[in-house]
């Protein structure tokens, strides 16, 4: 399938004292939702912040919408206005109240629609009685409400790309479902023109809204691809104890217990397990992610 | 359209099956367009790529044709062509069976006997 990239990252390197992010190449597909998946500290937030321009000095190149450079992102308001970013923690200044938060966004972004903003906050059940207290300070909000405030901010602008750092984590199950709905609606607004990139630990909740997966481990990309392709590349295998040695030899990743083993096998390697008494399944995104993360982790798991 | 998340049949396959039935039984006619990919994904609460894979499957079967920027329209259904496509699928599946028969060291007679036995079961 031919796709264009909404964001292209080439030879990105960003060094910290004890950590290095090193991304050889990622093309985030235009018109789709991409999930960044990986352990805490794997580099997901750093990558998103580099793309959003919240962190600057780094090696390599990031290009936007197939034609803009990072310099354009800084200088051309068209690029800035077409990207919406939601982060974790205190994206808005903690001392601001809700009225100021809205005013600042009106100032910062062309196309910010204040009425739509209020409407979305209502839709997201921001406050129980649908009345927002304009003097309420941002730092007195729950984490869930901080997320809703950021979501309303980006959704009330006319953007072509949403960058969202852990949008699901602070939301309750009902709101996670709503978040998925919001992402699908956003993508459907203009067939193939709008894209979403989000990081998440809540893989199962986001599976039905994930088109492309980028699995980050230890500062590097361990695997990436369209989910449907990854589900063909890997097969989930369960086997008996007697075949464990064969499994150890040919499985991509596996765990064992007293009765047998299970895990991911490269579909091309399935032939090598011929003769073993196994059952095979199409992996879920969670099984794929966990297997690939475990095979590439720097942690020593038992 | 009913989609089961817990079925052994992959979701994209369920979608393709549903449209294929609609086309073959005349509920969707020649020249009509399938729903937009992202619109259908939104309605069915599934990912865009899964919907796209369903449409690509229908395209590879010759049921629909993709038009850049417009979507997928339904082709006239030619009985002869459909039969040929299904025969090609039968050949592919049999090639797969032959491959595994070789791995298992089966003789040609054993393989044809297996096929005959399976056909008998199917009839019963």
**Average of per-residue pLDDT values in chain B:** 90
Q: Which residues of B touch A181 (CB under 8 A)?
A: 42, 45
pLDDT band at A136 (very low <50, low <70, confident <90, very high): confident
Q: What band does A301 get if pLDDT is binned at 50, 70 and 90?
A: low
Between A74 and B83, the more confident residue is A74
A187 touches B at CB < 8 Å: yes
Contact predicate B123/B116, CB 8 Å: no
Range scoring the smallest mean pLDDT among A14-23, A113-122, A270-279, A293-302 = A293-302
pLDDT at A302: 44
pLDDT score for A90: 66
Q: Which residue has the tokens 């006619």?
A: B29
Q: Tell me whether residues A210 and B47 touch, CB distance under 8 A.
A: yes
Whether the predicted pLDDT of A196 surpasses 70? yes
Neighboring chain A residues of B49 at a CB cutoff of 8 Å: 32, 211-212, 226-228
For residue A9, the cross-strand partners are: A26, A62
Q: Is B37 on the interface with A (CB under 8 A)?
A: yes
Chain A residue closest in CA terms to B49: A211
* pLDDT, position A269: 95
What pTM was estimated for this model as a whole? 0.86
Task: Check if the beta carbon of residue A211 is closer than 8 Å to that of residue A13.
Answer: no
CATH of A230-296, one of 3.30.70, 3.20.20, 1.10.20, 3.40.1440: 3.30.70
Q: Residue B103 is nearest to which of A33, A185, A274, comparing CB atoms?
A: A274
Tokens matching residue A221 = 């990309």
Answer yes or no: are the C-beta atoms of B56 and B96 closer than 8 Å.
no
Any idea where the domains of chain A sit in the sequence? 95-156, 230-296
Cα–Cα distances (Å) from B26 to A188, B23, B31, B58, in that order, read: 28, 5, 12, 15
Say how far apart CA A18 and CA A1 lie, in whole Å: 39
More confident residue, A283 or B76: A283
Closest residue in A to B39 (Cα) is A188
Is the pLDDT score of B87 beyond 90?
no
Contact B48 A282 (CB under 8 A): no
How far apart are alpha carbons A76 and A262 in whole angstroms? 51
Within chain A, how many helices (H) and strands (E) appear? Answer: 11, 13
In this prediction, what percent of chain A has a pLDDT beyond 90? Answer: 73
Average pLDDT of the residues in B106-124: 90
Q: Note whether B54 contacts A: Cβ–Cβ < 8 A.
A: no
Query: Residue A155: helix, strand or coil by DSSP?
Result: helix
Predicted confidence at residue A130, as pLDDT, reads 64
């Amino acid at each position: 399938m031919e796709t264009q990239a909404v964001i292209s990252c080439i030879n990105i390197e960003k060094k910290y004292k004890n950590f290095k992010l090193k991304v050889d190449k990622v093309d985030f597909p235009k018109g789709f939702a991409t999930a960044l998946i990986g352990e805490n500290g794997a580099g997901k937030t750093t990558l998103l912040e580099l793309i959003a321009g919240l962190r600057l000095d780094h090696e390599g190149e990031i290009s936007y919408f197939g034609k803009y450079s990072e310099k354009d992102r800084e200088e051309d308001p068209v690029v800035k206005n077409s990207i919406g970013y939601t982060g974790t923690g205190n994206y808005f200044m903690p001392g601001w109240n809700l009225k100021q938060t809205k005013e600042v966004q009106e100032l910062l972004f062309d196309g910010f629609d204040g009425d739509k903003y209020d409407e979305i906050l209502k839709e997201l059940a921001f406050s129980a009685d649908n009345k927002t207290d304009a003097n309420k300070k941002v730092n007195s909000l729950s984490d869930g409400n901080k997320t809703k405030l950021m979501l309303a901010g980006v959704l009330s602008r006319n953007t072509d790309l949403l960058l969202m750092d852990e949008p699901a984590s602070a939301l309750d199950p009902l709101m996670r479902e709503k978040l998925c709905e919001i992402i699908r609606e956003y993508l459907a607004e203009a067939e193939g023109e709008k894209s979403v990139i989000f990081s998440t630990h809540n893989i199962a909740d986001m599976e039905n809204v994930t088109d492309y997966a980028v699995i980050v481990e230890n500062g590097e990309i361990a695997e990436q691809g369209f989910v449907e392709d990854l589900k063909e590349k890997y097969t989930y295998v369960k086997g008996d104890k007697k075949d464990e040695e064969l499994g150890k030899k040919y499985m991509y990743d596996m765990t064992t217990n007293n009765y047998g083993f299970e895990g991911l096998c490269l579909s091309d390697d399935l032939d090598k397990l011929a003769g073993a008494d196994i059952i095979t399944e199409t992996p879920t995104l969670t099984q794929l992610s966990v297997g690939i993360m475990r095979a590439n982790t720097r942690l020593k798991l038992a | 359209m009913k989609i089961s998340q817990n079925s052994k049949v992959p979701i994209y396959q369920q979608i393709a099956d549903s449209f294929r039935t609609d086309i073959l039984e005349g509920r969707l006619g020649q020249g009509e367009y399938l729903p937009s990919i992202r619109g259908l994904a939104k309605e069915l609460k599934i990912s865009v790529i899964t919907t796209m894979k369903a449409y690509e499957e229908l395209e590879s079967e010759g049921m629909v044709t993709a038009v850049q920027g417009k979507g997928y329209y339904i082709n006239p259904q030619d009985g002869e062509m459909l039969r040929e496509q299904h025969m090609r699928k039968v050949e592919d599946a049999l090639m797969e069976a032959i491959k595994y028969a070789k791995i298992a060291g089966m003789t040609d007679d054993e393989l044809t006997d297996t096929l005959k036995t399976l056909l008998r079961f199917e009839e019963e």
